[in-house]
């Protein structure tokens, strides 16, 4: 019978249409009733018709339905809600549709391919505000617009102008006794090194790349070596002339300007060789450094460890030797007492770098402060040299030109009498008659000075002939 009625349509006595489906069943018709609290008496519940289902069409009056929460919206029928952003799923009892949510810790996001795992962001990145992906941490390096950089560049810029000014004055008075007595050739080498020290600051305030890192790595020690090699050559010359003057009037070897430049160049070449070997063994490059999880420092690789001490090792050796020579030549006669200014320069330089070393190694996580401290120490050392070594000469050249003559470079002849048998405890000047005990001492000292000035006069004559 079902097979016969399957798919048949018939009309009833009242002309109502009726049909059977392909299985021989009549169309589905349902009344949908809802068991809810009575609107008349809240203590009772009634069955209320809220809709019907006829031939696949649902007609439902949702406003007549009351769920457990008192509303007409159906409650969610799930085992677990979706996890919030930054949370991962932990399955409960092996069910794939039931889980609990747990928060990913700092610098973690939910794994993009597995929602049951957290994923740690790579170094140099952090989660975005929504904890959905990893983004780069802001790069830290000394920018030209920062206050640290502006201060360092201002200091260096003033130093460059000062160096150019001093060089111009010296060139304009190149043949005057004051400039000749200071050793013109080495003075110009020294000024070029000071200019390089100031100019190096501007390389430290740009975004690091491999080229800038290479120039920094080579130039830091090189510019200092130029300065202290020239200074060491000069102090060595003064010491050898004075020592020779104590013994005889014979001119020491290798004190001509050409010889001094050769010696200075050899000292500088040692630093060049050190830098070349260093750069071959450790290629300069810019890299990201992460001293902490929150930091993303863009630095040159030589900043990561103490390898920058390689650049300063040789110049520091020159500083120590210069300081020793300054001590040894501190008693040179007043007319040739440039060693006194050199000594003060070296003492001050030692203090500057003794203060810089702990600052440098204690600011590993503060790029701006570390680089600024280095540039300021370099510029400050250069400034000390200009003030101590060149300002006294500028003072004579610009404000006392009457002293810029050869006679002012030579000492006034005088004799000091130390108490002898006939003149106990007395001192007499040029016109006084010294005692017998004083004559021998005065003669010895005067012979030393005469030898010294004789040698220096011959050196000065050689200097003039070499420069023609």
pLDDT attached to residue 340: 78
Q: Specify the residue for token string 């001509």.
A: 256
| Encoded tokens for 258 | 């050409």
pLDDT attached to residue 391: 92
pLDDT attached to residue 171: 93
- The reported pTM is 0.69
pLDDT attached to residue 152: 92
Phi and psi dihedrals of 132, rounded to 5? -110, -20
List CB contacts of 307: < 8 A, sequence separation 6 or more: 278, 282
- Residue ranges and CATH numbers for the domains of the chain are 2-64 (no CATH), 87-136 (no CATH), 155-409 (1.20.1070.10)
Q: pLDDT tens digits for the chain (468 residues)?
A: 666 666 667 676 666 666 777 666 777 788 899 888 877 777 788 888 889 888 778 888 888 888 776 777 777 777 777 888 888 888 877 666 788 888 998 899 988 888 888 989 999 999 998 888 999 999 888 888 888 899 999 999 999 999 999 999 999 998 888 888 778 889 999 999 999 999 999 988 889 999 999 998 899 889 989 999 999 998 888 777 777 656 655 666 767 888 889 999 999 999 999 999 989 988 899 999 888 888 888 888 887 766 777 888 899 899 889 888 888 877 666 545 577 788 888 889 889 988 888 887 787 677 778 888 888 999 999 999 999 999 989 998 988 888 777 655 555 444 444 444 444 444 434 444 444 443 343 444 444 444 444 545 544 544 444 444
Residue 227: CB atoms within 10 Å: 26
């Amino acid at each position: 019978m079902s097979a016969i009625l399957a798919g048949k349509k018939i009309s009833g006595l009242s002309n109502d249409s009726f049909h059977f489906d392909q299985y021989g069943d009549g169309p589905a018709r349902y009344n949908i009733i809802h068991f809810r609290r009575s609107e008349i008496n809240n203590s009772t519940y009634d069955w209320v018709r809220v809709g019907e289902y006829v031939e696949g069409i649902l007609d439902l009056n949702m406003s007549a339905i009351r769920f457990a929460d008192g509303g007409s919206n159906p409650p969610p029928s799930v085992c677990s809600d979706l996890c919030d952003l930054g949370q991962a799923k932990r399955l409960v009892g092996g069910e794939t549709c039931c889980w609990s949510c747990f928060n990913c810790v700092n610098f973690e996001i939910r794994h993009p391919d597995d929602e049951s795992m957290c994923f740690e962001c790579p170094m140099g990145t952090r989660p975005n505000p929504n904890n959905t992906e990893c983004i780069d941490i802001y790069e830290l390096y000394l920018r030209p617009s920062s206050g640290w950089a502006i201060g360092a560049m201002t200091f260096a810029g003033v130093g460059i102008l000062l160096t150019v000014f001093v060089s111009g004055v010296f060139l304009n008075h190149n043949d005057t006794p004051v400039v000749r007595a200071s050793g013109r050739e080495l003075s110009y080498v020294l000024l070029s090194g000071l200019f390089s020290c100031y100019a190096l600051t501007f390389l430290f305030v740009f975004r690091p790349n491999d080229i800038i890192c290479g120039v920094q790595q080579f130039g830091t020690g090189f510019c200092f070596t130029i300065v202290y090699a020239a200074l060491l050559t000069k102090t060595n010359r003064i010491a050898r002339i004075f020592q020779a003057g104590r013994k005889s009037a014979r001119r020491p070897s290798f004190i001509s300007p050409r010889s001094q430049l050769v010696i200075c160049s050899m000292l500088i070449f040692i630093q060049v060789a050190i830098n070349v070997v260093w750069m071959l063994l450790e290629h300069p490059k810019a890299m990201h450094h992460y001293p902490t999880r929150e930091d993303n420092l863009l630095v040159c690789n030589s900043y990561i460890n103490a390898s920058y001490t390689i650049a300063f090792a040789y110049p520091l050796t020159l500083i120590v030797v210069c300081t020793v020579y300054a001590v040894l030549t501190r008693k040179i006669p007043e007319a040739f007492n440039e060693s006194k200014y050199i000594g003060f320069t070296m003492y001050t330089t030692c203090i500057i770098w003794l203060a810089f070393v702990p600052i440098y190694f204690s600011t590993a996580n503060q790029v701006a402060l570390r680089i600024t401290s280095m540039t300021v120490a370099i510029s400050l050392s250069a400034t000390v040299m200009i003030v101590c070594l060149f300002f006294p000469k500028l003072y004579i050249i610009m404000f006392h030109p009457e002293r810029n003559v050869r006679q002012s470079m030579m000492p006034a002849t005088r004799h000091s009498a130390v108490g002898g048998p006939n003149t106990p405890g007395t001192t007499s000047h040029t016109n006084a008659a010294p005692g017998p005990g004083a004559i021998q001492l005065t003669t010895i000292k005067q012979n030393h000075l005469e030898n010294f000035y004789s040698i220096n006069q011959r050196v000065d004559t050689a200097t003039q002939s070499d420069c023609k």
